[in-house]
Amino acid sequence: MNRRGAADLAVSTAVGTLVAFVLLTLVVAGHHGAPLLTDSRLLSWSVHHRPPVAVAAARGVTDTGTGIIPYLPAVLAGVIAGRGARQRVIAAAACLACLVLAQLVRYGVMSLVARDRPPVGDWAARASGWSFPSGHTTTSAVTAGLLIAAVLLRARHGRRTIAAGIGCWAVLVGLSRVYLGVHWSTDVAGGWLFALCWLSICFRVCFFRVCFRIFFRSAVRRCPEVPPTPHDSTAPPPYDSTAPPPPGEAPAPRSPDSAGGRSGAPGGPPG
């Protein structure tokens, strides 16, 4: 897929996921945060299927979606995507900014919706704050998206396998939140939609930046070079007696030694 096709796909994905996320948010807010049909069923199934090994594995997976852990792969994505030390630093900072801004926007949405979490008695892990959208899910999905984009851009071998593994990690983090009883299933779905929409917007902005740089460089290459200006001398040009006089000026007197001989000079032969 070329750059134009990728940019169009990013726009379509951003619009589609934004519409879906807004609709889901309105449904959740319209029910005043109460669990929807799928929420209650999945929570009930999770509570009744919790062997100790599965709970320990779910806790280990869910811990990778919070704290400083997701920010390290985001920085790594920038290091992989860049070429040269300067580009890698800029790309790492851009990926880090993408993740931080996503967290700020998500926190604003959480505060506006103010949805309560499932009952504390069903929890199998610690949690705090509002429920919609899931923070662990959003963070891991944005980080996975950045890392997948970097791998697809730079990896030479096994890029699809690596990208699939990273995507599975993000999916497992979201599912672990439902399995541990600290989020409703619609919280996780909202986190995935929000992350996909946010990533599509960021990729589109990055595409505009790349296109601007390419256009600017090509315009500079096509710009004609201005020849260097010769050194201006203040000395007057040498006098040329044979040049015709300017219009309106009398001709300069001819010297007796000018070309054409010395006719009538004293001492010459008598006429």
- Give pLDDT, residue 179: 95
Q: State pLDDT tens for residues 28-71.
A: 999 988 998 889 999 999 999 999 999 999 999 999 999 899 99
Q: State pLDDT tens for residues 170-182.
A: 999 999 999 999 9
Contacts of 200 (CB under 8 A, 6+ apart): 10, 11, 13, 14, 17
- Give pLDDT, residue 234: 55
Q: State pLDDT tens for residues 204-248.
A: 877 555 444 444 444 444 555 555 555 555 555 555 556 566 666
Structure tokens at 87: 């580009």
Peptide bond just before 133 cis, omega within 30 deg: yes
- Give pLDDT, residue 243: 59
For CA atoms 201, 204, 208, 210, give the dihedral sign: positive
- Give pLDDT, residue 12: 86
Burial of 85 by CB count in 10 Å (0-12 exposed, 13-18 middle, 19+ buried)? exposed
Q: State pLDDT tens for residues 78-98.
A: 999 888 888 899 999 999 999
Q: State pLDDT tens for residues 153-205.
A: 888 888 899 999 999 999 999 999 999 999 999 999 999 999 999 999 988 87
Judged by DSSP in three states, 7 sits in helix
- Give pLDDT, residue 207: 53
- Give pLDDT, residue 262: 47
